[in-house]
Amino acid sequence: MSKYQHIREAAYYANMELPKLNLVIFTFGNVSAANRDLGVFAIKPSGVPYAELTPAKMVIVDFDGNVIEGDLRPSSDTKTHAVLYKHWDIGGICHTHSTYATSWAQAQRDIPIYGTTHADHKTVDVPCAQPMDDEMIKGGYEYQTGFQIMNCLSERKLDHREVEMVLVGNHAPFTWGKSADKAVYNSAVLESIAQMAYLTEQINPDCARLKESLIKKHYERKHGPDSYYGQ
């Protein structure tokens, strides 16, 4: 068996979750799964419909973005994935164009923490990285997207192990986690949070953020000692 078989399968099954969870239509997203010991990740090939995917069609890429093994062209977002793997100790990345999260990204807005559903998962607003300027685009768009995500968190003093999601302004969300499955889970949570926040503002444009005591209470109920949630 190939030494890459495990990550080929992990990436394949995680990608197949995207249409099932209504996070993508057509080929609007990609998931990758890393083997950090080997310094590589498996990623969806570019433009291939989910129904036509197989583990063998996943492309193996190193953390500098070089293709190591595979017959197809890797996702157009591959270099963004590579930058994040190179700098962060993570095992999976998910990128979608899910409707509500992408709408917040296009509007260039953080998603405010309005309720306890959001606080069950995160204690902060979902951050939105400001759109790239032309210099950054010229400097290698896909690589720069990776740095845009990293800079967005560092500017706000947020830790990527705690906030596993960023909206890329003008573009769409990226999520990550210790595995490809966890990255997809985070994309599904993000889409749900994004939809609820949008509807909340429609119903009450003056709605206040959730107060800190409830944010803390709800987060700790789910993530405190002995909790199973989100593991």
Ligand X SMILES: O=C(CO)[C@@H](O)[C@@H](O)COP(=O)(O)O
Q: Which residues are catalytic?
A: 120, 229
If the CB atoms of residues 42 and 119 are measured against ligand X, the closer one turns out to be 42
If the CB atoms of residues 119 and 168 are measured against ligand X, the closer one turns out to be 168
Tokens of 121: 């998962």
C-beta of 26: minimal distance to ligand X in Å?
8
Alpha helix stretches (DSSP H) within 75-179: 78-87, 99-106, 116-121, 134-138, 141-155
CA distance 83 to 194: 26
Alpha carbon of residue 33 to chain centroid: 12
If the CB atoms of residues 40 and 215 are measured against ligand X, the closer one turns out to be 40
C-beta of 110: minimal distance to ligand X in Å?
20
Give me the DSSP letters along 114-133.
Answer: -SHHHHHH-SSPBPEEPPPP
If the CB atoms of residues 60 and 113 are measured against ligand X, the closer one turns out to be 60
C-beta of 214: minimal distance to ligand X in Å?
35
Q: Rule CB under 6 A: which residues touch ligand X?
A: 27-30, 44, 46-47, 75-77, 95, 172
Phi and psi at residue 35, in whole multiples of 5°? -115, 105
Burial of 49 (0-12, 13-18, 19+ CB in 10 A): exposed
CA distance 32 to 43: 4
Q: Are 121 and 230 in contact (CB under 8 A)?
A: yes
The strand pairing partners of 173, in sequence order, are: 167
Q: How many CA atoms lie within 13 A of 27 on its CB side?
A: 13
C-beta of 215: minimal distance to ligand X in Å?
31
If the CB atoms of residues 18 and 40 are measured against ligand X, the closer one turns out to be 18
Please tell me what DSSP assigns to residue 179: S
- If one counts every other C-beta atom within 10 angstroms of the C-beta of residue 195, the result is 17
Radius of gyration of the chain (CA): 17
C-beta of 76: minimal distance to ligand X in Å?
3
